[in-house]
Amino acid sequence: MKIIDISPEIHSGLAVWPEDTPFKRHVLMDIDKGDHLGLSQVTTTLHLGAHTDAPNHYARGSDGIAKRSLNYYMGPCQVIEVNTQQGERIQVADLGDTKIKAPRVLFKTNSFPNPDQWNSNFCSLSVELIDYLAERNVILVGLDTPSVDSFESKELPAHHQIHHYNMAILEGIILVNVNEGEYGLVALPLKIKEGDASPVRAVLIDNNIFLPK
């Protein structure tokens, strides 16, 4: 069994959405400086690095991350690489002949290449693509960018269409060294009461343990 880490390292230089709260770790006690233990605290946006959005992030009156079923975030998945133009929404046609084979789909766009350097012209998802995935019983959609919607979008059509189908979202993953294909996904969110998101340690498992033998 091979585990592939698809999470960026969390540190103070990790890029976050402009005007959002960057990660900062404050050391309260340091064992290397004579304290009897190490102790620290952090301040950060919940939408940090590899993270899952909760429905209350984009839909009024919806559940926070603590109430989401963990079934969304663990199980068979499929990585699909697309050649969508930088800054555009992924369309169904961009899939070419690729068939949907798993209930969790992660898109490799290569449009947000450096998690420590913000760029606004990343790829996002089209409403038509979400419809297409829902028709094929996809329950989670993810991609290697900060958002399923474009940087300029205030209407958030992809988020709202995902909510319409009660799907889950995984954003900010690193797929640069991941080949297309089927894997097992584990990306469990923290149980944050009423949280609008949660950072995750997202991993793919090669030799998919979730598939029947």
Q: Sort 192 into a burial class: Cβ within 10 Å, 0-12 / 13-18 / 19+.
A: middle
**Structure letter (DSSP) for residue 67:** G
Separation CA 12–CA 25 (nearest Å): 8
Longest Cα separation, the chain: 61
Radius of gyration of the chain (CA): 17
Task: Give the active site residues.
Answer: 57
Sign of CA dihedral 85, 130, 189, 185: negative
Separation CA 38–CA 34 (nearest Å): 10
Task: Give Cβ neighbours of residue 213 (< 8 Å, ≥ 6 apart).
Answer: none
The label of the residue with tokens 């790829």 reads 123
Separation CA 173–CA 153 (nearest Å): 21
Q: Sort 88 into a burial class: Cβ within 10 Å, 0-12 / 13-18 / 19+.
A: middle
